Structure formats: structure tokens, C-alpha cells
A and B are shown apart, each in its own frame.
Chain A
Amino acid sequence: MLMYRMPVTLRIDLASPVPAVRQIVDGLRLLLVVGGLEPGTQLPSVRRLGTDLGVHFNTVAEAYRTLAAEGWLEIARRGGARVVARKTPRADPEAAAGFQRRLRELIADGQSRGFPRGRIARELRRLAETLEGARS
């Protein structure tokens, strides 16, 4: 089992209108993409993570299954999951359109909550630079 390089934290908001399963999937996927969770890492059991987060075990199990279907995780015995090396698939046009739509929706949501356009643009530029840096 590989050791973690740094504290890898998953944060959800129980009062958020976003379903807990979606928050867990998004949070774990972020950690998987940025490299916080490396292949071979053992994730907590469904029961342990559910108890610590305060969500039903089935919610965590569903999140694990979703990420397993995407190829990030391998479901282990006794309700655990292990991070596996994943080959990045080629994005199809439908997925690309979906990504653009979600990005626009996210920006619109930020604007509706009062974030200035300039700040959103700066955040996007910063993320783009991080992505470019990771590629080179």
C-alpha cells in the first residue's frame, strides 16, 4: 500500500442542496486528478467513511461505484476501495460539449452569487496556467 504524501482531505457540506453522493464523487475525483490519491492507495471502508462524514453507507458505496465505473477505483472486499492506475480516455464530442456547458453553468453560478467577472477570469487563468504547467 502506498503512503500519502500530504493530508488528503475530503470535504462535504451536509446542508448543501447538492446531493452528498455528488459531493463525494466530485471531491474524490478532484483528489484523483490532481494526484492527491495515487494508484495503490487504499480508501477507507464504506462504513468508516459514511460514519465520519455523517452520510448513509449506501451513499458512499454509490460514490465508490461511480468512480469504479469511471476506472479510478477498484472495489475491494469488505466495503473498501483501492485507487488504480487509469488510462485517460479520449474525450468524445458529447463529453466535451457537456464539459463546456458545466463550466459555463459554474461561471454563471459564481456571477449570480456576486463574484466579480474579473475575479472569475483571474481564477480561470490561474487554473489554466496550472494545467499548462502540469502538461509541460
Chain B
Amino acid sequence: MIVIAVVLLMTAFLHFLPAWTRPDLFFAVTVDPYFRASGEARRITRLYRIVLWNCMLLAIALSVLTKRQEFVLLSIAGYYCGTAVAHRRALAHAVPGDSAVEVNLGAPREALPGGPVAMLVPLAALGVLAAWVSWNWSRIPERLAVHWGVHGPDRWIARTPHSIYGMIAQDGALSLVFILIGMGIFYWSRRLTGSAARSAAAEQNRFRRLNVQIFFVLASLPAAYAWIIVLQPPAPGAWLAGVALLVAGFYYAVLIRNRPRFTARSSDSTPNSCWKLGIFYFNPADPAVFVLQRFGIGYTLNFASGWAWAGFAMLAATISLRVVLR
């Protein structure tokens, strides 16, 4: 039931996504800003939504009939298929993007949001937890609930050094991944500093800093999870669900509310041909590892960069660690 509700909410969010992108972009294709109001644009958007909702309905139906939650992943496939089909049709209406790039050589040096100390807080919290665990080992219950379903806890770990310190280590690795994503957006994404599109540059840079801050906040989630698991407060499942819902709600509310509102050209110098299926950016000539999404809100990876794949390898290793130590 919870999964179905999440899928419905996600599909509703994706339904409105085309309306939240920059005016000169339509399904990741540079178009005339007036194209959005045309009949063809409405037809393309309708096609995207039909694919999206049909896949969602199919996903829920298969999930309910077979009682296997894995089928809900079909709804994500619907998003990719819908975007790819719409992107392909939008390409027929592409206009050349702005290929000129301007950099202010006198732009002041940027400071990392929150400073380098702020991003170390989650890791320090996990370090303190590890120290607390070693000093209070006997006070920790013999069995710790680590996962909750509708009817209460459904997964436990035993009180062994392997499982307790392993859990802290994997949460530390996950925090580190979020911190590295934040730092990657800060150091390895394009800054707009030229004077040609000053308002667009200010808007984009504001959103870029916001994304960095969001990832530094997300980095504290695994630390919060580890503390709640070890301390096992009354109704820990409700605590975790509350924290997760609060953070997820906050995350999307902040992103939607603070999305870049470009009124003029977006000064996006990425070529249309590098946006594969309208979602994946692949440009070996671009040294940026993170780029502003053309379809969606936030940043995406430049999949031609070796650093992007190194990041994926690290994320995969973190998830594998979780499975191995389960």
C-alpha cells in the first residue's frame, strides 16, 4: 500500500515535470520559447504523460496481481520511455542553442556552502557513535531491529562487532557518497560568471549552491539512521519513517520552490546531440562532471567522464557492502 502511494506521488511529480523546465528547453531540446504554447508541443507532452501513466498503471496492476513489489520499477521505465519518445519528436523542432560561453576572470573565489567543517559533521557523528558503542557495548540490546514494515520490525541484526560496526561503516560510506556528490557539484560543474546573461547566471549559480547544500544535508541521513538503530528509542520504525518522510518532503519542496526560473536564454552551451534519450548527458569534450539537468530539476552526470563512472563504482560498492553485511 505504501509502495503504491509512493509510486502514485512520484508519477504525479513526473506528470508536471515538463512544465518546470526552462522556457527555451523542451524535453531536453533547445526550442523557440514560444514553441511550448503550440499544438505540437501539447501533443508531445500528452504523449509523454500517456506513456507515463499507462506504465504506472501496468506496474501497480502487476505488483498487486503477482504480489511482487519489483514490478513497480516499471513505472520508472515509463518515465524513461515517455521522455525518450517525446525527446525524439521534439528534436524535429530544435533551434540552434547558444554556443558562446563567457567567463568573468575576476569573479570572486567561491566558498563551499557551510564550509568544509559542515560536510564533516555526519562523518563525525558516526565516529562519535562508534566510540559510544565501544564504551557502552553491554547496554546495547542483543538483537537490533533495522527494518520496519506495516506490521512492525521485519529484519534484525545480532549484537556482534561485525554487524554493529559494519552498519556504522556502510552508513559512513553512504554519507561520504552524498558529500562527494555535493563537492562534485561545487567543484566540477560549470559556473556562469559572464555578463551576457547575468540574471540567468545568478539564477543558475544560486540553484547550484542550493544543490550542494541539499547533498550535505542528505549526508546526515545515514548518520541519523545509525543513531536511531543503535539507541532503539520507543517506536524506532515511526522515528525512521518520520525522518525519511520529513527529509523527502523537504527535499522536493525546496527543489520545486527554488527551481531556476529562467526568463531569458539559459546560456546552456551543451549540444542537443549530447543528451541521449533526453535524459543522459554524454559529452567527452566537456570536462564538467556534473551538469544542470535539461529535463528535470537538479544536476546530472556527464556519463563521458571517468569520474562519473568512478562515482557509480563507489555507490555500487556501498550498496554491495550493505548486502554483504546484512
Contact = CB atoms under 8 A, between A and B. Distances in A.
Q: Bound pair: A and B?
A: yes
Interface of A: 3-4, 6-16, 31, 37, 43-44, 47-57
**Chain B residues touching A, majority SS:** loop
Given A14-B269, A55-B287, A7 B195 contact: yes
Interface stretch (B2-10, B185-193, B232-240): B185-193
B105 A11 contact: no
Interface stretch (B54-62, B96-104, B145-153, B216-224): B96-104
Given A4-B106, A43-B105, A56-B285, 15 more contacts: A10-B102, A10-B103, A10-B105, A11-B196, A13-B101, A14-B99, A14-B269, A15-B96, A47-B287, A51-B287, A52-B190, A53-B103, A54-B269, A55-B287, A56-B287
Contacts of A15: 96, 99
A44 B269 contact: no
Give me the 9 closest cross-chain CB pairs, A-B, nearest first: A4-B106, A15-B99, A11-B102, A14-B99, A8-B105, A52-B103, A13-B100, A50-B287, A8-B106
A80 to B, nearest CB: 11
B268 to A, nearest CB: 10
A106 to B, nearest CB: 20
Contact of A14 (B101, B105, B194): B101
18 contacts: A4-B105, A8-B105, A9-B195, A11-B102, A12-B100, A12-B101, A13-B99, A13-B101, A15-B99, A16-B99, A43-B105, A49-B103, A51-B190, A51-B288, A52-B101, A53-B101, A56-B287, A57-B287
Interface residues of B, number: 24
B191 A52 contact: yes
Interface in B264-278: 269-270
B40 interface: no
Listed residue (A4, A12, A54) with the most chain B CB atoms within 10 angstroms of its CB: A54
B288 A9 contact: no
